[in-house]
């Protein structure tokens, strides 16, 4: 399977012959840090190799579209609810620099005690089935070829089917997994004994398959009433899972601590979070760290979430992060949308590249409050562990509700999670293993009649599924109605017919988002915003974000709804667009020729901002290429433009015409064309107009060489001037 950059991912091709697909690699892949990496005009200290194909950060156009990649792995978490839609989102994320794809699974699956086969999709996540894993890994094989970097695929080994999930992941080439028995106990109410017994088996399988294991301690931050007070407990949870993993046989390099800064502004974030981050990395030196934003503070304002994300990434740079997880800015309000996955990835990348080499410039002050607070956190964690031992061990501590208690240990609030040792899902289901037990796979923990006397104990029975994939039984979907083929029938038929619908969650869902400011008190304004959305033709409108500007003056709302409109692509009128010249090409041609131009806002128009941005070097305007710009100001008569063009020997005239009442903009453009012809200057001068109602076709109809509207840049204008002058020169030479 091969992807090309100008074609969509073919879901039909992904699904074809899945029963024959085998993952081409196992285990986790780390980026390779490059020392003194030069790219464009810069040298980077914390970079990895660039991608073969990518979308640079938005501001990269100012730096010749360079696209540096940070040294740490970048995560995006996906939860569309349909794996076939996830695949397209994974491709987008990879092009923007993500190489760790985490797929959120359904909550309910934590309570299922076996593998799921042929199951319809869930809501707010996906059940983990062999078909979903195999299709995803197959698509990622092609995606990583397209971008030129290995992509890690990640899911969750939790619940009552942990060992079975671990074997499934090893068989299907999954590269990373969450596995933490405490997560099962505290947050899924799985029986303590069952959880730890299952974890021993699962961890051994993950270890042998080379998966990176993430723990779940960060969930205490998202659950405790006062998250910043559970930081000593977080160290304890990390320690328990890390020690258990090592005892089972997992090497330190495969263990990653999932760490989340516990606060967000308006709390004094850095003063609270930095000592915690420093203490964590000192206590667990030698292990990997996966840093993530704390989702509990994400409400609905994407700007606020992004600012917190930047601050959290700053913490990662001030300390360390092997994996930087990104949180979609809309996670607090709906299923994450395509473009918000990308926004999260770009936020992390932009911050990392902006902070490149920071550790060479600053040093953390350990001999002041930072060092004292970090030491205090570690002391509280050690005391917490000692108390657990004194009171009877981990089971007793959980039974006493000592975990996720929002007291700052040794303070207790009495609001911790209580789990009885003999209760919970899977209670009394652990049975003693008989002396003649034979393990179904060679990666196995505990007593096994097939002893580890050879490299592969399963050789005694002809090989297991981990060693002989041909023994895997592939089961396709069983539901005749809710399956991937049924879900894709309408969207793919519309795609084949060339129909285009808006989407943000799933293929062709029609969801759109509009922003409205309503000048009324909050409740009245919200009701009005919904009514306005309905008048726009949106079905099922819903307010997903509200921000009060002033209780009486008004509020800003984001409203999502369904726009049931399909546009035939064949009916679209798309003008051919010539790509602008590069900055280097423009400057190389302009500077030695001393190209002059005259510019002004014409008629009775006083608007100057747009034209100044096209001209001024401060705004990246065409002055930077060496053009000699003669700016005459606003409300300039057309005759004066021509007079100055003749006096200065200029080769181009640029007019800005914003006012459009009575088609003033058209009269100005036609007037300029007429005057230039009357004076016999048309062959000498390049004529260009710009304005909110101006476009190239309209300007051409009015006799000008080019027209530019909203979103135009100095580079666009300069390219047209250079190409037009080159064409005139070629004609004269001919």
Q: Which of 571, 600, 624 is the last residue of a domain?
A: 571
Taking the C-alpha atoms of residue 430 and residue 45, their distance in angstroms, rounded to an integer, is 52
Supply the CATH number for residue 524's domain: 3.30.30.60
Does residue 428 belong to any structural domain of this protein?
A: no
pLDDT of residue 711: 79
Q: How confident is the model over 405-440, as pLDDT tens digits?
A: 999 999 999 999 999 999 999 999 999 988 888 889
Residues 104 and 140 in one domain: yes
Whether the Cβ atoms of residue 156 and residue 178 lie closer than 8 Å to each other: yes
**Cβ neighbours for 286, distance < 8 A, ≥ 6 positions apart:** 252
DSSP-based three-state secondary structure for 186 = helix
Which of 726, 729, 721 has the alpha carbon at shortest distance from 627?
721
H-assigned helices in 573-695? 583-590, 609-615, 638-648, 664-678
Residues 637 and 553 in one domain: no
pLDDT of residue 302: 83
Q: Cα 66 vs. chain centroid, distance in angstroms?
A: 19
Pick out the chain residues at pLDDT < 50: 123-124
Q: Which of 546, 571, 596 is the last residue of a domain?
A: 571
Q: Which of 571, 596, 623 is the last residue of a domain?
A: 571
pLDDT of residue 123: 46
Does residue 479 belong to any structural domain of this protein?
A: no
Q: Cα 128 vs. chain centroid, distance in angstroms?
A: 22
Give the tokens for residue 264: 């967000």
Give the tokens for residue 364: 């953390």
Domain enclosing residue 535, as ranges: 501-571
Does residue 485 belong to any structural domain of this protein?
A: no
Give the tokens for residue 659: 């006012």
Whether the Cβ atoms of residue 498 and residue 569 lie closer than 8 Å to each other: yes
Other beta carbons less than 10 A from residue 718's beta carbon: 29
pLDDT of residue 377: 97
Residues 536 and 603 in one domain: no
Q: What residue has token string 């590269």?
A: 175
Give the tokens for residue 121: 């999709």
Taking the C-alpha atoms of residue 373 and residue 483, their distance in angstroms, rounded to an integer, is 54
Residues 514 and 636 in one domain: no
DSSP code for 348: H
**Cβ neighbours for 590, distance < 8 A, ≥ 6 positions apart:** 625, 626, 627, 718, 722
Whether the Cβ atoms of residue 619 and residue 613 lie closer than 8 Å to each other: yes
Q: How confident is the model over 65-93, as pLDDT tens digits?
A: 899 999 999 999 887 778 888 999 999 99
Residues 652 and 509 in one domain: no
Does residue 577 belong to any structural domain of this protein?
A: no
Which of 313, 320, 229 has the alpha carbon at shortest distance from 267?
229
Taking the C-alpha atoms of residue 624 and residue 615, their distance in angstroms, rounded to an integer, is 9
Does residue 514 belong to any structural domain of this protein?
A: yes
Residues 548 and 656 in one domain: no
Residues 604 and 729 in one domain: yes
Q: 514, exposed or middle or buried, with CB in 10 Å at 0-12, 13-18, 19+?
A: middle
Taking the C-alpha atoms of residue 328 and residue 394, their distance in angstroms, rounded to an integer, is 35
Taking the C-alpha atoms of residue 332 and residue 722, their distance in angstroms, rounded to an integer, is 49
Taking the C-alpha atoms of residue 410 and residue 384, their distance in angstroms, rounded to an integer, is 7
Residues 660 and 529 in one domain: no
Does residue 399 belong to any structural domain of this protein?
A: no
Residues 222 and 334 in one domain: yes
Which of 225, 230, 215, 299 has the alpha carbon at shortest distance from 261?
230
Supply the CATH number for residue 316's domain: 3.20.20.440
Residues 702 and 598 in one domain: yes
**Cβ neighbours for 31, distance < 8 A, ≥ 6 positions apart:** 48, 49, 69, 71, 72, 73, 99, 149
Supply the CATH number for residue 644's domain: 3.40.50.280
**Cβ neighbours for 407, distance < 8 A, ≥ 6 positions apart:** 229, 413, 414
Does residue 56 belong to any structural domain of this protein?
A: no
Q: Cα 117 vs. chain centroid, distance in angstroms?
A: 30
Which whole-number Å values give the CA distances from 547 to 147, 302, 561, in the listed order? 39, 11, 19
Does residue 63 belong to any structural domain of this protein?
A: no
Q: Cα 265 vs. chain centroid, distance in angstroms?
A: 22
Residues 554 and 587 in one domain: no
What's the total number of domains in the chain?
Answer: 3
Which whole-number Å values give the CA distances from 11 to 15, 53, 136, 510, 592, in the listed order? 6, 21, 10, 20, 53
Residues 606 and 558 in one domain: no
User: What's the first-to-final CA gap in the chain, in angstroms?
Assistant: 50
DSSP letter for each residue of 258-307:
EE-----TTS-HHHHHHHHHHHHHHHTTTSEEEE---GGG--S-HHHHHH
């Amino acid at each position: 399977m091969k992807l090309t950059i100008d074609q969509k991912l073919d879901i039909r091709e992904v699904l074809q012959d899945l029963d024959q697909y085998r993952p081409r690699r196992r285990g986790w892949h780390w980026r390779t840090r490059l020392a003194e990496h030069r790219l464009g005009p810069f040298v980077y200290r914390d970079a990895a190799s660039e991608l073969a194909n990518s979308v640079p950060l938005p501001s990269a156009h100012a730096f010749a579209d360079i696209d540096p990649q940070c040294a740490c792995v970048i995560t995006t978490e996906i939860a569309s609810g349909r794996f076939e839609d996830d695949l397209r989102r994974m491709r987008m994320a990879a092009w923007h620099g993500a190489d760790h794809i985490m797929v959120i699974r359904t909550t309910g699956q934590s309570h299922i005690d076996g593998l799921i086969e042929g199951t319809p999709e869930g809501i707010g996540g996906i059940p983990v089935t062999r078909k979903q894993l195999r299709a995803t890994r197959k698509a990622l094989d092609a995606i990583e070829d397209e971008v030129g970097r290995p992509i890690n695929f990640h899911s969750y080994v939790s619940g009552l089917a942990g060992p079975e999930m671990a074997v499934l992941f090893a068989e299907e080439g999954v590269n990373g997994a969450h596995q933490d028995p405490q997560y099962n106990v505290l947050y899924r109410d799985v029986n303590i004994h069952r959880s730890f017994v299952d974890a021993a088996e699962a961890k051994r399988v993950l270890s042998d398959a080379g998966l990176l294991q993430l723990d779940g301690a960060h969930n205490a931050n998202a659950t405790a009433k006062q998250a910043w007070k559970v930081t000593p407990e977080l160290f304890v949870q990390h320690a328990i899972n890390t020690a258990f993993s090592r005892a089972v046989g997992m090497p330190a390099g495969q263990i990653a601590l999932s760490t989340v800064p516990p606060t967000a502004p308006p709390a004094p974030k850095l003063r609270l979070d930095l000592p915690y981050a420093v203490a964590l990395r000192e206590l667990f030196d030698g292990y990997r760290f996966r840093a993530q934003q704390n989702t509990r503070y994400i409400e609905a304002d994407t700007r606020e979430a992004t600012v917190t994300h930047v601050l959290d990434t700053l913490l990662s740079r001030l300390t360390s992060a092997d994996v930087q997880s990104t949180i979609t800015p809309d996670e607090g309000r709906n299923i994450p949308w395509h473009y918000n996955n990308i926004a999260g990835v770009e936020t992390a990348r932009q911050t990392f590249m902006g902070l490149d080499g920071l550790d060479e410039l600053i040093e953390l002050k350990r001999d002041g409050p930072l060092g004292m607070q970090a030491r205090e956190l570690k002391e509280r964690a050690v005391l917490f562990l000692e108390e657990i031992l004194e009171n009877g061990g981990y089971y007793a501590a959980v039974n006493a509700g000592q975990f996720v208690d929002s007291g700052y240990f040794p303070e207790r609030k009495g609001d911790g999670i209580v789990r009885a040792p003999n209760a919970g899902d899977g209670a009394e289901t652990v049975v003693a293993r008989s002396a003649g037990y034979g393990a179904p796979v060679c990666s196995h923990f505990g007593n096994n009649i097939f002893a580890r006397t050879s490299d592969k104990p399963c050789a005694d029975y002809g090989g297991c599924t981990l060693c002989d994939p041909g023994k895997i039984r592939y089961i396709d979907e069983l539901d005749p109605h809710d399956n991937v083929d049924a879900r894709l029938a309408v969207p793919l038929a519309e795609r084949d017919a060339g129909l285009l619908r808006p989407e943000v969650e799933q293929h062709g869902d029609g969801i759109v988002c509009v922003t409205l400011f309503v000048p009324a008190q909050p409740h009245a304004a919200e009701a009005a915003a919904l009514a306005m959305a309905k008048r726009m033709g949106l079905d099922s409108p819903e307010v997903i974000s509200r921000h009060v500007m002033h209780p009486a003056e008004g509020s800003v709302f984001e409203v999502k709804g369904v726009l049931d409109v399909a546009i035939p692509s064949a009916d679209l009128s798309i003008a051919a667009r010539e790509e602008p010249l590069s900055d280097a090409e423009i400057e190389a041609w302009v500077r030695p020729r001393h190209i002059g131009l005259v510019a002004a806002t014409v008629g009775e128009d006083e608007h100057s901002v747009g034209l100044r941005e096209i001209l001024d070097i401060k705004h990246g305007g065409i002055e930077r290429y060496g053009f000699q710009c003669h700016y005459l100001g606003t409300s300039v008569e057309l005759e004066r433009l021509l007079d100055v063009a003749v006096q200065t020997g200029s080769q181009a005239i640029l007019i800005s015409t914003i006012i459009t009442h009575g088609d003033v903009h058209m009269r100005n453009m036609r007037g300029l064309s007429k005057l230039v012809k009357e004076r016999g200057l048309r062959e000498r001068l390049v004529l260009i107009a710009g304005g909110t109602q101006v476009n190239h076709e309209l300007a051409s109809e009015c006799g000008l060489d080019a027209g530019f509207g909203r979103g135009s840049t100095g580079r666009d204008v300069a390219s047209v001037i250079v190409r037009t002058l080159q064409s005139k020169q070629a004609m004269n030479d001919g």
